Copies of this chain bind each other. A is one copy, B any other.
Amino acid sequence: MSDISFELARNSLNEFAKTIEDCLVGSLPRPDGMEAQVIEAMRYALMAGGKRLRPFLVMQSASLFDVDLKLARRVAVAVEYIHTYSLIHDDLPAMDDDDMRRGKPSVHRQFDEATAILAGDALLTNAFEILADERTHEDAHVRCELITALAKAAGAIGMVGGQMIDLKAENQNLHEKQIKRMQQMKTGALIVFSCEAGAILAKVKDERRKALIGYAGDIGLAFQIIDDLLDVESSSDDIGKTAGKDARAGKATLVSLMGVKEAKQAAEAVIDDAINQLKLFDAKADILRSLALFVLHRAH
């Protein structure tokens, strides 16, 4: 594996981002009247850029098992709907109160708060409509398994619960275990779903599925540590959103607990583990291996 570099994943991600955006726009409901504004807001949020990491993970995990890419693409769109809804709601004044997202006005600044709330609600709802459609998989059991896994990852003991903890954590001294649990719920669960989706689509339940879940847990944790590092070290221009917010909000992060140097070392160790999880797979998993290095590279 010594010949794998982070550039493989970076280039692959960049190329993929363009193709998935066509699918995202194509999957939107067609408005027939005055409701058009909420669909415009959904489109605005979906098209605001971003790395498209979660849909990329769906496509890569599906390709490990030779799943029809047409099916995987529908799951990738559903995951990006969920991720995008969570960003819209997180940015609201009552939540993280962020006016900027990926260098552009956030949805409630571009439209208004009510439209932002509704656009998030509609993306969340329509993600499940996409998964339940028979075009996603001919086997309805598989569709139900995808829906169950995504709902658990996104719901009250997943992403929403993690956001609840994050909001309550201001000026509380969470210890490392609590912060890791929060991160696992708030961002980790959806990354795990994205990596597991390929195995669900392929009806694979063996140790390869466990390996993908382990890999996803690792890169989710590394991703969060590096986000925290960037939040401490970067200016707002570099990361396209307001920097240094966590520190100002009095939030403990793994970086504030460990210090910058130790946090970087921890991220490196976690990324080593992520790559190690993939030893069951042949060269087909090289892009996922490279992606782990790419996650780490963002901090350098």
Q: Taking the nearest CB of chain B, how far is it from the CB of A96, in angstroms?
A: 9
B-side contacts of A141, CB under 8 Å? 140
Binary contact track A110-154/B, C-beta < 8 Å → 1, others 0:
001111011011101110110111100001110111011001101
Using a Cβ–Cβ cut-off of 8 Å, how many residues does chain A contribute to the interface with B?
63
Q: Taking the nearest CB of chain B, how far is it from the CB of A29, in angstroms?
A: 5
A105 within 8 A of B: no
By the criterion CB–CB under 8 Å, are B126 and A134 in contact? no
A31 with B128, Cβ < 8 A, contacts A38-B164, A118-B164, A140-B140 known: no
Within A83-126, the residues touching B (CB, 8 Å) are: 85, 89, 92, 94-95, 108, 112-115, 117-118, 120-122, 124-126
CA gap between A151 and B127 in the complex, in Å: 9
A162 within 8 A of B: yes
Identify 10 residue pairs between A and B in the complex whose beta-carbon atoms are under 8 Å apart, listed by A's number. Answer: A33-B181, A85-B121, A94-B108, A94-B117, A95-B117, A118-B167, A121-B121, A129-B152, A129-B155, A131-B147
Which 6 A-B pairs have CB atoms at the shortest separation, nearest pair first? A35-B161, A94-B113, A129-B151, A140-B140, A122-B156, A125-B155
